């Protein structure tokens, strides 16, 4: 009989650290014992309410009159009770972007974001992703050792290269952006530095595109009729890339893991009877890349499905827990896209279709090139990266038949120096 995951000093389940990374479902079960909503420690000395009930999550996410996204309402943060170096602040502190605003300001920023994303041609996005994937695969096979960590060497880097091209980054800036993003996603002491470096790069890029506009997200954002300030444009782009890179990397990794691990998927895929998209949909149900996020704050003391919620307290939606809520119909099926991996309501992810395109294309490309990949680790549950928000493997080592080094695709060869070191 396994020992239950330890509780925090205040008696709450702990949504961070080594134990949570190793046994997340057990921690979600601890939260379910508290009911629809329960207290959890999301970082040392930082607490939040966490929703684990699917129907309660849908109710909250569709009620902007009662719940706000503005983290300036966070009472403990305002009172100085949240450590200034807390790792959760990078994701929860207020910024003038679509992620942290309400009402008319949110509508204005959301319109700009949606309009700019809508200008991304789907066929071009597939081609950018394919070229980026081939660049990384060429590097992987170029070592000649017949193995790789496709988390660090592929899944983490593909979305970085894709977004660098979508933003209109020059080659030198692309290399710096990838390095900054690698620090940002590390969840270690260098994460804050990576975030600061990434913001500096975006500021440079905005100034560049103000003088030399192009056909890219940066130019479209600063030229939008919403008339965003440079600060607003920077944080909009920071939100778009930050919300794109880490979830897309995690979703790519989990889709690959499912296809490599689960015989019910691996066999049909090899036979051509299963699409990667179906595996991706199962991944979004079982392994939502943002495990716990969609932070809201009650505007006043209120009740959610009979549970009292105080105002000024962060309320997280556990996308991982609500998607696996035992009260959901057992025959719902993975083809049903009612999962909350992309959230729902007025703050639903505006780039879900683009994210799916990147993941599906990246996975199809690597399977086409490395069709004989096999996982090295035989554990069903790989170790996860630490932290409350993302559900992502620490590594995913594979072997494959050693191949001759491939030529880099010409269009992305200049970006190849921006990969992992």
Same fold, 1-63+65-96+291-337 and 102-288+341-421: no
Q: Which residues of 302-314 are buried (b: 16+ CB within 10 A; e: fewer)?
A: eebeebebeebbb
Task: Name the residue ranges covered by the structural domains of the chain.
Answer: 1-63+65-96+291-337, 102-288+341-421
Residue range 102-288+341-421, CATH number: 1.10.630.10
Residue 407 pLDDT: 53
The mean pLDDT of the chain is 89
Residue 269 pLDDT: 58
- The string of pLDDT tens digits covering residues 327-351 is 998 877 777 889 999 999 999 999 9
Of residues 58, 21, 56, the one with CA closest to residue 38: 56
For the chain, percent of residues with pLDDT exceeding 70: 90
Residue 185 pLDDT: 63
pTM score of the predicted model: 0.91
- The string of pLDDT tens digits covering residues 405-414 is 555 554 444 4
Residues of the chain short of pLDDT 50, as ranges, are: 273, 410-421
Task: For the beta carbon of residue 248, count every other beta carbon within 10 angstroms.
Answer: 27
CATH 3.40.50.150 matches 1-63+65-96+291-337:
no
Residue 144 pLDDT: 81
Cα separation, 352 vs 55, in Å, equals 21
Integer CA distances (angstroms), 73 to 69, 163, 239, in order = 9, 32, 20
Is residue 149 within 8 A of residue 395, CB to CB? The reply is yes
């Amino acid at each position: 009989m396994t020992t239950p995951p330890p509780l925090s000093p205040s008696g709450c389940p702990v949504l961070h650290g080594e134990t949570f990374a190793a046994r997340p479902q057990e921690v979600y079960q601890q939260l379910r014992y508290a009911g629809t909503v329960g207290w959890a420690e999301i970082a040392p000395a930082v607490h939040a309410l966490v929703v684990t009930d699917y129907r309660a999550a849908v109710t909250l996410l569709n009620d902007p009159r009662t719940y706000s996204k503005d983290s300036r309402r966070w009472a403990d943060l305002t009172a100085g009770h949240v450590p200034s170096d807390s790792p959760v602040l990078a994701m929860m502190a207020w910024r003038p972007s679509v992620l942290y605003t309400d009402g008319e300001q949110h509508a204005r920023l959301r319109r700009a974001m949606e309009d700019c994303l809508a200008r991304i041609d789907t066929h071009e996005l597939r081609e950018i992703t394919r070229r980026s994937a081939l660049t990384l695969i060429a590097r992987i096979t170029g070592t000649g050792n017949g193995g790789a960590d496709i988390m660090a060497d592929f899944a983490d880097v593909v979305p970085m290269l894709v977004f660098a091209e979508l933003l209109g980054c020059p080659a030198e800036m692309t290399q710096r952006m990838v390095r900054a993003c690698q620090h940002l996603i590390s969840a270690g002491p260098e994460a804050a530095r990576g975030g600061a470096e990434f913001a500096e790069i975006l500021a440079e890029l905005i100034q560049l595109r103000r003088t030399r506009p192009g056909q890219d997200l940066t130019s479209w954002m600063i030229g939008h009729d919403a008339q965003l300030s440079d600060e607003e444009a920077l944080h909009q782009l920071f939100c778009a890339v930050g919300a794109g890179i880490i979830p897309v990397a995690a979703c790519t990794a989990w889709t690959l893991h499912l296809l490599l691990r689960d015989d019910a998927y691996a066999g049909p895929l090899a036979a051509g009877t299963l699409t990667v998209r179906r595996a991706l949909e199962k991944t979004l149900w079982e392994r939502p890349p943002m495990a716990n996020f969609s932070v809201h704050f009650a505007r006043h003391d209120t009740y959610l499905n009979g549970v009292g919620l105080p105002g000024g307290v962060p309320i997280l939606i556990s996308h991982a827990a609500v998607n696996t809520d035992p009260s959901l119909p057992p025959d719902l099926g993975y083809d049903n896209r009612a999962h909350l991996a992309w959230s729902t309501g007025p703050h639903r992810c505006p780039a879900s279709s683009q994210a799916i395109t990147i993941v599906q294309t990246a996975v199809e490309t690597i399977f086409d090139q490395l069709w004989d990949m096999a996982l090295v680790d035989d554990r069903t549950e790989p170790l996860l990266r630490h932290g409350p928000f993302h559900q992502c493997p620490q590594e995913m080592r594979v072997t494959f038949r050693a191949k001759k080094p491939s030529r880099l695709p010409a269009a992305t060869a200049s970006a190849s120096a921006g990969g992992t070191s």
